[in-house]
Amino acid sequence: MQPETRYARSGDVHIAYQVVGEGPLDLVLVPGFVSQLDMQWADAGMARFLRGLASFARLILFDKRGTGLSDPVGAAPTLEERMDDVRAVMDAVGSERAALFGLSEGGPMSALFAATHPERTAALVLCGSFAVGVDVTRDNPGGERWHQIGATVRNALEHWGEGQLLALFAPSLAGWDAYRRVWGGFERAALSPGMARALWQIVSSIDVRHVLPAIRVPTLVLRRTEDFMPIGLSRQLADEIPGARFVELPGDHLPSTGDVEGLVGEIRSFLTGVREEPSADRVLATVLFTDIVGSTARAAAVGDRAWRDLLGDYHGLVRGELARFRGREVKTLGDGFLATFDGPGRAIHCACAIRDRVRPLGMQVRAGLHTGECELMGDDVGGIAVHIGARVMANAAPDEVLVSSTVRDLVVGSSVRFGDRGPRALQGVPGEWRLFVVEGGAA
């Protein structure tokens, strides 16, 4: 029987989800480019695959915002918004901690979620997935083949709903005209043509390679021998995620084809053997540093008492914006703040809001942001990511919000616009770092 479809609220968006099975392990399936909760059960192979997963776990399924049965949205969702949606669904079903199964395009967000929220991630399975999109030119492990696939997908987008993606996803079924027509209907039910194009622009620009070393949960990387994705993409995931296991199995990209039972068995063997708790003392976070420009001269000009009053107003404004954008104040550093966020987009908007709100006080601030693995030390944080964040801020001009390329890459597809400040040497940090200034104000 097809499971009941319910809805979870993620901000103002309704996310459609289903729950199947009653196993001791919660398993969240993060779907790929095309998904539609109800229609997937009409496919015998997909139903067999999902029932197999539900035989040993409580399987949690959902459609991403803008796709399938979830609310339509005006723009393709960012990775940060998708993480919010996963949390909303987990909260709705009472799942405090789950294994994540990132299928295809669902893999990059799953990797980011596992690094950012290890306390909610029991394990990570990445199947037919990647860390870097087809349009990323620097050191792309997919090579020329990956770029050729991009051209194939873009052509299929111009014929959306005709089932052309089937030739990539399941070449073993592509010659079956009836199934291609069914797949065309699945495309139309999953995504509108406009949303398909917008989503592909985001997918093709994804780059989460810098996240991979920060993942500290047990990870399985699966690839099928006839998968259209170059093997270098899977190898990179396995090589750069600490302790990840790489397994190659026969079959197409779609898990509903070929040896479904063998694929389910490999996932079951990996997940039911997971016993070790992830390390809770390291987590991926976005670090925000702020500092008042010219504070010493301003204090001398207005006097100690007036300066204390101004600082009190400043601290109140900053803490109000941190609360609004879900930031965590770590500590004050002289005239500045150190705060962390679980999403880089919120951190950017918070920094812009702080910059804009303090102007009526006659103050200017500079802000710097970096996303990386942080060491949790009680209420404090440490590690190289914190040092990089501080050095990024030191390079900012008055009234500037400056970010590292890592932050810029993680908010691709959002409304945030950047100006390139070029490569910089950060004091005490090896190599050169490309920095970007946020253009515009807070959302």
Closest CA to 341 of 384, 405, 385, 292: 385
- Please determine, for residue 278, whether its predicted confidence score (pLDDT) is greater than 80: no
> In sequence order, what E strands does 46-94 have?
57-62
Same domain, 318 and 433: yes
Instruction: Calculate the average pLDDT of the chain.
Output: 92
Which range has the worst mean pLDDT, 149-163, 270-284, 335-349, 373-387?
270-284
Is there a contact between 284 and 383 (Cβ–Cβ < 8 Å)? no
376 lies in some domain: yes
Highest mean pLDDT among 215-224, 291-300, 380-389: 215-224
Same domain, 180 and 245: yes
Number of domains in the chain: 2
The boundaries of the domain holding residue 134 are 6-272
Q: What does the pLDDT read at residue 385?
A: 92
Same domain, 266 and 156: yes
- Please determine, for residue 442, whether its predicted confidence score (pLDDT) is greater than 80: no
Question: How far, CA to CA in Å, does 116 sit from each of 95, 150, 212, 414, 435?
Answer: 17, 29, 11, 19, 22
> How many CB atoms are closer than 10 A to CB 177?
9
Same domain, 289 and 261: no
Of all residues in the chain, what percent carry a pLDDT higher than 90?
A: 77
Question: In this predicted model, what pLDDT tens digit does every residue of 424-439 receive, in sequence order?
Answer: 988 888 888 999 999 9
Distance CA 191, CA 199 (A): 9
- At 201, is the pLDDT very low, low, confident or very high (cuts 50, 70, 90)? very high
Domain final position from 244, 272, 300: 272
- Please determine, for residue 100, whether its predicted confidence score (pLDDT) is greater than 90: yes
Same domain, 105 and 239: yes
277 lies in some domain: no
Same domain, 75 and 211: yes
34 lies in some domain: yes
Q: What does the pLDDT read at residue 414?
A: 86
1 lies in some domain: no
> In sequence order, what E strands does 219-364 have?
219-224, 245-249, 282-292, 328-333, 336-341
Same domain, 245 and 380: no
Question: In this predicted model, what pLDDT tens digit does every residue of 339-388 receive, in sequence order?
Answer: 999 999 999 999 999 999 999 988 999 999 999 999 888 888 988 899 99
CATH code for position 369: 3.30.70.1230
pTM: 0.87
CA 347 to chain centre: 15
190 lies in some domain: yes
Domain final position from 226, 250, 272: 272
Hey, what amino acid is at 102? G
Q: Stretch 249-253: mean pLDDT, rounded?
A: 92
Which range has the worst mean pLDDT, 200-209, 246-255, 337-346, 373-382?
373-382
Same domain, 131 and 215: yes
- At 273, is the pLDDT very low, low, confident or very high (cuts 50, 70, 90)? confident
426 lies in some domain: yes
Same domain, 250 and 287: no
Question: In this predicted model, what pLDDT tens digit does every residue of 162-183 receive, in sequence order?
Answer: 999 999 999 888 888 888 899 9
Question: In this predicted model, what pLDDT tens digit does every residue of 126-138 receive, in sequence order?
Answer: 999 999 999 998 8
- Please determine, for residue 276, whether its predicted confidence score (pLDDT) is greater than 50: no
CATH code for position 128: 3.40.50.1820
Question: In this predicted model, what pLDDT tens digit does every residue of 403-413 receive, in sequence order?
Answer: 999 999 999 88
Question: In this predicted model, what pLDDT tens digit does every residue of 15-66 receive, in sequence order?
Answer: 999 999 998 999 999 999 899 999 999 888 899 999 999 999 999 999 999 9
Q: Stretch 230-238: mean pLDDT, rounded?
A: 95
Same domain, 11 and 117: yes
Same domain, 190 and 310: no
164 lies in some domain: yes
Which range has the worst mean pLDDT, 70-79, 114-123, 146-155, 166-175?
166-175
Q: What does the pLDDT read at residue 309?
A: 87
In this structure, which long-range contacts are made by residues 172-181, counting pairs with CB atoms below 8 Å and at least 24 apart in sequence? Answer: 172/226, 172/252, 172/257, 172/258, 173/252, 173/257
- At 441, is the pLDDT very low, low, confident or very high (cuts 50, 70, 90)? low
Is there a contact between 89 and 60 (Cβ–Cβ < 8 Å)? yes
Domain final position from 217, 238, 272: 272
Distance CA 438, CA 443 (A): 12
Query: Between 254 and 299, whose confidence is greater?
Result: 254
60 lies in some domain: yes
Same domain, 222 and 327: no
- At 415, is the pLDDT very low, low, confident or very high (cuts 50, 70, 90)? confident
Question: In this predicted model, what pLDDT tens digit does every residue of 53-95 receive, in sequence order?
Answer: 999 999 999 999 999 999 999 888 999 999 999 999 999 999 9
